[in-house]
Amino acid sequence: MENVNTMSIKVTSKCNYACGMCPFHGEGYSADYFGQRPELKRDMTLEEIELSLKKAKDFGISTIDFTPNGEFFAHKQWREILELTSKNGMKITVTTNGGLLSEKDIQDACDLGLSHVAVSIDSISYDTYKVVRKPATKQSFENAIHAPIYFKQNSHRGGAIFMFKCKSQNSLKTKMNLVIF
């Protein structure tokens, strides 16, 4: 059997969007998911995260993947979380929608040890983006579009991974076809 070396941690249930395709926050999903699991609608504390990291390290985990049930960067203590993870000598990966991230936030994340990031961008057209990502502002769109560039410019360990994700939805089929490449 292969050794497990990556652990996913969902540190928050908060998100800056309520996208239709999201099983956690999308229209018609959120009440079902969190309604049946109210204990999941919260942020992990730094103490809980620190304990999880210690146990993971003891088990031989070398990579922590902060994956969404919400947006990692919506956690008020994301900087402290990255610092704790880095201090434990673990590689850090994050999946984000990028909407909350300024260039300074990205510099901080990279300085704190973030080594790999997947930025989910649903369109390079603001008109289509704001239909998919709700409620999207022009600023959050610009943040998301620029995030991969800023991550690449500020990456210290291993480079940024950029993922262009496009989800086809019936109501957007003609618009979405214009942005798929």
According to CATH, what is the number of the domain 6-179?
Answer: 3.20.20.70
Q: Where are the domains of the chain?
A: 6-179
Beta strand segments in 88-165, E = 91-96, 114-121, 163-164
- Identity (one letter) of the amino acid at 133? R
| Interval 75-105: pLDDT, tens | 999 999 999 999 999 999 999 999 999 999 9
Answer yes or no: are the C-beta atoms of 101 and 143 closer than 8 Å. Answer: yes
pLDDT for 88 equals 95
pLDDT for 179 equals 36
pLDDT for 30 equals 53
The rounded distance, in Å, linking the Cα atoms of 69 and 131 is 21
Q: Is the dihedral of CA 15, 21, 24, 26 positive or negative?
A: positive
Beta bridge partners of 96: 119
pLDDT for 159 equals 53
11's CB contacts (< 8 A; 6+ apart) are: 43, 44, 49, 66, 72, 75, 78, 81
pLDDT for 154 equals 85
pLDDT for 28 equals 62
* Residues of the chain under the 50 pLDDT cut: 1, 172-181
